[in-house]
Homo-oligomer: A and B are copies of this chain.
Amino acid sequence: MTTNQLIKQIHKKQSFLCIGLDVDLNKIPKYLLNEDDPIFTFNKAIIDATHHFCVAYKPNTAFYEAYGIKGWQALEKTISYLNENHPDIYTIADAKRGDIGNTSTMYAKAFFEDLGFDSVTVAPYMGKDSVEPFLAFKDKHTILLGLTSNQGAFDFQTKCVDGVELYKEVLETSKFWNNSENLMYVVGATKAEFLADIRRIIPDSFLLVPGVGAQGGNLQDVCKYGMNNSVGLLINSSRGIIYASQDEDFAEAAAKNAEVLQLQMKAILSRQSQ
């Protein structure tokens, strides 16, 4: 999916919500564990109930790898289900990969070609030649970790490198990489006040913002500092939506929580367009 197609979807659905499909078998309704594939059954129910309210889904690969072959099969079934039934939905493999050139190419093939995701998250530590193999794929996005939402972000990301914080150096440097128009960035919502600075460096890029909800980030603040003329934001919520209930009404409860966020986004978008 191209950036313009994503922007169209945002305006059509009046939503820039991304739902994180981080399925932990200890947290889903117990009765689903009797299913052949509890992870996919859960995801399908969540997708069926929430797809009107969001523009993107983001499975975090860790939650699938933890269940081995069965987990990887559930991931394949989930992305296939999305691509077949909801081709207008943007998909993100939250994988935080990154390796030397020929190896990054293999990761890019895994997520873009084999699985068919629209985008993948990538870590910047290994630099330009670890990220460019992802950027080489046409109409696919590489979502680079900028400033993450966890406490550990303060260990290295906010340290000063040649007088500027490391995460800003990452943002600035990445603009000069080949096919950098295919970049988006992860910026944690728990640090909304940093977004004004970030927008000065990358005014036009889309930001994937985790940490709204369970991690404490505030939607209004993120939009105030982070929104641009093309919206430029995908706000992710995982646990706050998919674990809204652990009973048989889990999908309905997820839809309710997704709708609450979508309505807030609709209001923000309508204020922006005035």
Point out residues on A near B: beta carbons under 8 Å.
22, 24, 60, 62-63, 65-69, 71-73, 76, 94, 96-101, 103-104, 106-107, 109-111, 114-115, 123-131, 145, 148-157, 159-162, 166, 169-170, 173, 215
Contact = CB atoms under 8 A, between A and B. Distances in A.
29 contacts: A22-B103, A24-B106, A60-B99, A60-B106, A62-B104, A62-B106, A65-B114, A66-B107, A67-B110, A68-B72, A68-B115, A69-B73, A96-B98, A98-B123, A100-B149, A123-B126, A124-B155, A125-B145, A125-B157, A126-B145, A126-B150, A127-B152, A127-B155, A128-B152, A129-B150, A129-B152, A130-B150, A160-B161, A160-B162
B161 A114 contact: no
A62 B129 contact: no
Given A69-B69, A150-B130, A60 B103 contact: yes
Contacts of A166: 156, 159, 161, 166
A114 B148 contact: no
Contact of A155 (B66, B106, B128, B149): B128
Given A100-B148, A123-B123, 13 more contacts: A60-B106, A62-B106, A96-B99, A96-B123, A100-B150, A126-B152, A127-B151, A127-B155, A127-B157, A129-B150, A156-B166, A156-B173, A159-B162
Contacts of A159: 161-162, 166, 169
Listed from nearest, the 8 A-B pairs whose CB atoms lie closest are A127-B152, A127-B155, A62-B106, A65-B110, A66-B106, A129-B152, A100-B150, A66-B110
B150 A62 contact: no
A11 to B, nearest CB: 31
Nearest to A109: B66
Given A96-B98, A126-B152, A170-B156, A76 B65 contact: no
Contact of A161 (B66, B129, B156, B215): B156
B148 A126 contact: yes
A68 B76 contact: yes
A115 B73 CA distance: 16
A175 to B, nearest CB: 13
